[in-house]
Amino acid sequence: QQQVKQSPQSLIVQKGGISIINCAYENTAFDYFPWYQQFPGKGPALLIAIRPDVSEKKEGRFTISFNKSAKQFSLHIMDSQPGDSATYFCAAKGGSGGGADGLTFGKGTHLIIQP
């Protein structure tokens, strides 16, 4: 049972455009929703995260939008740059284990920013 569904699998955006990646979750006990960025040959790195008590969080060009009623959250990358080309994972924590059972990840989105 996949608890966090991520789309699209791959995404091509022109330089300067807006990249949008969507995730949906099923477990209403989740209370922490981070996004991770992964470059080839590297481990994932925390990009930005949100709690369900806010609807939006912005850090530089990266914004998380959160819709608690729809159980959906999305990552928006404004003014996308070639250096943003990477794989992005959404994740959620706080299920039945209260967080001890780790992060539940989406399957990832391979983002390519064309110059």
Partner 1 sequence: NAGVTQTPKFQVLKTGQSMTLQCAQDMNHEYMSWYRQDPGMGLRLIHYSVGAGITDQGEVPNGYNVSRSTTEDFPLRLLSAAPSQTSVYFCASSYSWTGTSGYTFGSGTRLTVV
The residue ranges that bind partner 1 (CB under 8 A) are 6, 9, 32, 34, 36, 41-46, 49, 51, 89, 98-108
Q: Please, are residues 33 and 50 in contact by the beta-carbon 8 Å criterion?
A: yes
CB closer to partner 1 out of 96 and 115: 96
Q: Toward partner 1, which CB reaches closer, 16 or 98? A: 98
Give the residue from 70, 83, 71, 106 showing the smallest Cα distance to 19. 83
Q: Considering beta carbons, is residue 82 or 102 the nearer one to partner 1? A: 102
Q: What are phi and psi of 92, to 5 degrees?
A: -145, 150
Q: CB 47 → partner 1: shortest distance, Å?
A: 10
Neighbours of 17 (CB within 10 A): 14
Closer to partner 1 by Cβ: residue 66 or 108: 108
| Token digits of residue 58 | 């912005």
Provide the residue type at 81 as one letter.
Q
Q: Report the nearest approach of partner 1 to the CB of residue 14 (Å).
A: 26
Residue 69 CB, shortest distance to partner 1, in Å, is 21
Which tokens hold the place of 4?
A: 């966090």
